[in-house]
Amino acid sequence: MTSALSLQERYAQAVRDDSGESFAALTEPDITLSGSVFAWPITGRAQVQLALRTASGIYDELTFTGATELPDRAYLEWSARGLGLEIHGVTAIATGQAGAFTSIALHHRPLGAVLAFSKELSRRLDGLIDPSHFDATSA
């Protein structure tokens, strides 16, 4: 899979696509999603897409502030506002030999934002994704 779009552009496009078609075309079926708001990774295309789409709805605004891209991975720095908090972080995307995403890692900061985001994501995904993926201490 080759594309004239950067990994950052492909990622943003896939997360925004309500149909899931872009996400499916850009990801491996067994993709994993990990990060600071998760107790353990979420696996599988449908579950990862659901978690990312839901997470993106928590932000009131999000701006990518920097990116480093290599042939098999990208690191996207960002600043956001959500839940009444300033949130900063890095998204790491790894790709396989064909260029499809194999893993995505979301790293939020500071700690208060991590805990609040995990709690809100768990609330919004209640009944859709196993709650043990999220911070049980802030429930």
Numbers of helices and strands, H then E, in the chain: 4, 6
Predicted pLDDT of residue 92: 97
Q: What is the pLDDT along the chain (139 residues), one digit of tens a residue?
A: 445 788 888 888 888 888 889 899 999 999 999 999 999 999 999 999 999 999 999 999 999 999 999 989 999 999 999 999 999 999 999 999 888 999 999 999 999 999 999 999 999 999 999 999 987 664 4
- How crowded is residue 68: how many other Cβ atoms within 10 Å of its Cβ? 13
In this prediction the pTM is 0.90
Instruction: Give the domains, in start order, of the chain with CATH numbers.
Output: 7-129 (3.10.450.50)
Distance from C-alpha of 136 to C-alpha of 27, rounded to nearest angstrom: 29
Question: Judging by DSSP bridges, how do beta strands 42-43 and 101-109 pair with one another?
Answer: unpaired
At residue 90, what is the residue type? Answer: V
Give the whole-angstrom CA distance, residue 134 versus residue 123. 9
CA-to-CA distance for 86 and 99, rounded, in angstroms?
33
Per-residue CA distances from 134 to 22, 28, 42, 55, 63 (Å) = 26, 23, 10, 12, 25
